[in-house]
Structure formats: C-alpha cells, structure tokens
Amino acid sequence: MSNEVKKAEGKLGVMVVGLGAVTTTFMTGVLMARKGLAKPVGAMTQYDKIRVGKGADKKYLKYNEIVSIADLNDIVFGAWDVYPANAYDAAINAAVLKEKDINPVKDELEKIVPLKAAFDKNYAKRLEGDNVKECKDRWDMTEQLREDIRNFKKENGVDRVVVLWAASTEVYVPINEEVHYKLADLEAAMKANDVENIAPSMCYAYAALAEGAPFIMGAPNTTIDIPAMWEMAEKTKMPIAGKDFKTGQTLVKSGFAPIIGTRCLGLAGWFSTNILGNRDGLVLDEPANFRTKEVSKLSTLESILVPENQPDLYTDYYHKVRINYYPPRNDNKEGWDNIDIFGWMGYPMQIKIDFLCRDSILAAPLCLDLVLLSDLAARAGRYGTQRFLSFFLKSPQHDYTQNEVPVNHLFQQYVMLKNAIREMGGYEADEEID
C-alpha cells in the first residue's frame, strides 16, 4: 500500500441516518467547537498524540500532524430521519444538552432538515415517524438513497461524503448464506424485495458504498458484517469498519477485562445491566431489537478472557447482559457491572463498577473520530474492513467465514489504531500486539 495519501481538501459531507440524541449532540459539539465555544473532549483525532520514530528521532504528534485530516470547519452536515424536525428542534427535544449550549449555533442547526428516511416499521416497531420514503421495493429504496447522496453533494458543494448510521437498533437479522454471502445474491434479494433478509440499514450501506462514501454502522445491526457487503466494499474500493459505538459499559469491559487477564486472576461470572430512558432504550425494550444488541455486547469478553488459553481461569464463567428501559434517566444511562473473580487457591472476590454515564456525550466524539478516520482511510486508498477502527466499536469487523477472532482488548486495539496512523503518515508501524 502506498503512502500517497490524498490531502483533505475541500468540504467533507457527513450524512447521518437518524437525527436523534447522539447525532444532534455530535453536530452541536462540532459547530460549537468551530466557534471556540466548546471543546471536543473525548475525540482522539483532536487530542491524542502518537509516538513516531525511535531513539533520537522520537516525537509525539497529534493525528493531524502525522496525516491530513479534515478540519472541523470543512464539515457539512446532512441527515435522514423518520421525524421531520430540524436539528435544532431535535437537539432541544433530545434534552441531552442545555439550551444555552445549543442556542449559539441555532441558525446552523435549523438549516439541517432531515431528508425522508428509508424505513420499515417492522424493523423498529416503536418508532412512529411519518417522514418516510415511498419505496416500491428494497432496490428502489437503495436507488432513492443514492440520489439523496448525489443531490447532497451537488447542493452543498462537498467533495467527499461519509455516511454514518446513528439511528435505532433494528430487529435482529440472522445471517442467511443464500442472501448475505455473495453480492449478486444480495442485489437479487433487494430487487425481489426480500424484506426478511434485507434490512433498511443494508440499503443505506449499499447506497453509500455505491456512491463512493465510506459507511459507518453505529448500531449493532446485521448490516455490513456480511460477506456480500465486504465484497461491495472491495468492489467500490471503500472503507467499512465494525459496528456499534463503544461508549459506556463495553468500553469499561474492554479496558477492565485485561486487568483480570493480565494479572492471571480467575473469572466466575460477569453480570452487566444497564438502565437508560432515551429513544435507544425504548427501541431496545422490544425483545427482537435487544437480541441484536445482546449479540454485540456479549462478544467482547469471550475474545479477551479465552478459556482455551487459560482453562484454569476462564473455563466456565457466566456472562449475562441486560438493558432495561427506564424513562426517568433519559440519556443519562447507568451501566452496572458485578464481577465475580477468584484468586489464590480459588478464593472468591467481587468487583462492582457503577458507571453513571451520558450516552450521547460518550458517543459524539466517537462519531467525529470514525467520520474523520474513515475519510482518511478512503483518501489513503484503504478499502474493505478497517480493523484499526475497532478501538471505537463494540463489534469489530472480522471474517467469521475464516474463523477469524476479533481483537476486543482495548489496549491491543489502540496499538492497531496507532500503527495505521503511523503507516498512513509514512512512518514505520513499529508497535507489536502482544
């Protein structure tokens, strides 16, 4: 792979699916940061420094000093949503940010009016919006989305687009080899309007890749973790990553499980429960939607504390994940972990972690990083699965058809991230994942 990374010149369009709590918090923060009225805390692309070189040549540089990253001033936002409210009204309605922190960018937010969403109520029964496209079939749905992307580019004079899914979790779509393994089969199913196997999110992903836009899946939907989409990403030479923003509890898990593993302590059980009251919580209250999330959240631990590697320590631990819809909390969710460990001579001990977090405040910087780094990957000619973005996601993309095990260990993921930035900046990828 050459180190000829195209410069981030011109405007970068960021088209988001879903104009809810996460997205409006992301947009407001970027617009406020542009005016110097807020700081983009939590965004690696804005704060993190990476070592490049060794010995006398060693220096620590921010990402934009190593590679060309789009400037916040060059971002232009667009959206699709089932509710017609503009970004300002949606931000006020989400009640994540105080009005005084939204009002300075009110004019800009009001101009962000969502396009009609490609939507199928069977995939999110709890959503009641009517700002929805009329589609003959899934192929027509995809074609309409492609046209939206082309129009957005033209109307806003943007050079590049990234499409980011930050909408609700869809019902669980089991992977079906006859539809999801080959691109030709996927396209045929879209044209045949196979609504069981083709989720609306797949139409967004396909449309984005077809229009030369990297696609980021912020929910745990079965969208791009299918071989047909990997084939599409290869064909269009576009980057994809994994899925589901790694915000609260899973961030803790991917950072804390390594403590247990590194210290060679045993694990008897890990019980995780969450309470949240935003639209995400409402949708996840539906069992079929929760199933999608559960699969994503459960996978983290099993690839960090591996029974085969340490049979004495990790053979039969019990791992449970629960999400409870609790309206009084709104976006301020609570992730509670009870961890039963054992030590010397098998004596039991317990760890309790209570993370009183704000879902959208943790997700907004991830949106920014994923958008900027996916755009960077595209300009660097990197396409297909970008494993270096696993750091930001609960379910890193991996080729399960080849029995590949994803890296979920936070610090190993961080090494992958740093090495990719080094490589794209023309430096040596000089850290190893142990």
* Residue pLDDT, tens place only, 64-80: 999 999 999 999 999 99
106 burial class (0-12, 13-18, 19+ CB within 10 angstroms)? middle
Tokens of 81: 């949503």
Residues 6+ apart with CB under 8 A from 55: none
Encode pLDDT of 376-424 as tens digits.
Answer: 999 999 999 999 999 999 988 899 999 888 899 999 999 999 999 999 9
Q: Which domains are present in the chain?
A: 12-246+360-424 (3.40.50.720), 249-356 (3.30.360.10)
Encode pLDDT of 211-228 as tens digits.
Answer: 999 999 999 999 999 999
* Position 230 pLDDT exceeds 70: yes
345 burial class (0-12, 13-18, 19+ CB within 10 angstroms)? exposed
The predicted pLDDT at position 148 comes to 98
**Nearest-angstrom CA–CA distance, 148 and 167:** 17
Q: Calculate mean pLDDT across residues 310-334.
A: 91
Tokens of 54: 């060794």
Residues 6+ apart with CB under 8 A from 402: none
The predicted pLDDT at position 242 comes to 83
Encode pLDDT of 131-187 as tens digits.
Answer: 999 999 999 999 999 999 999 999 999 999 999 999 988 999 999 999 999 999 999
Q: Calculate mean pLDDT across residues 338-344.
A: 98
Q: Calculate mean pLDDT across residues 338-367.
A: 96
Q: What number of other Cβ atoms are within 10 A of residue 188's Cβ?
A: 14
In angstroms, the Cα distances linking 291 to 21, 276, 298, 299, 425 are 22, 17, 10, 13, 40
Res. 372 pLDDT band, cuts 50 70 90? very high
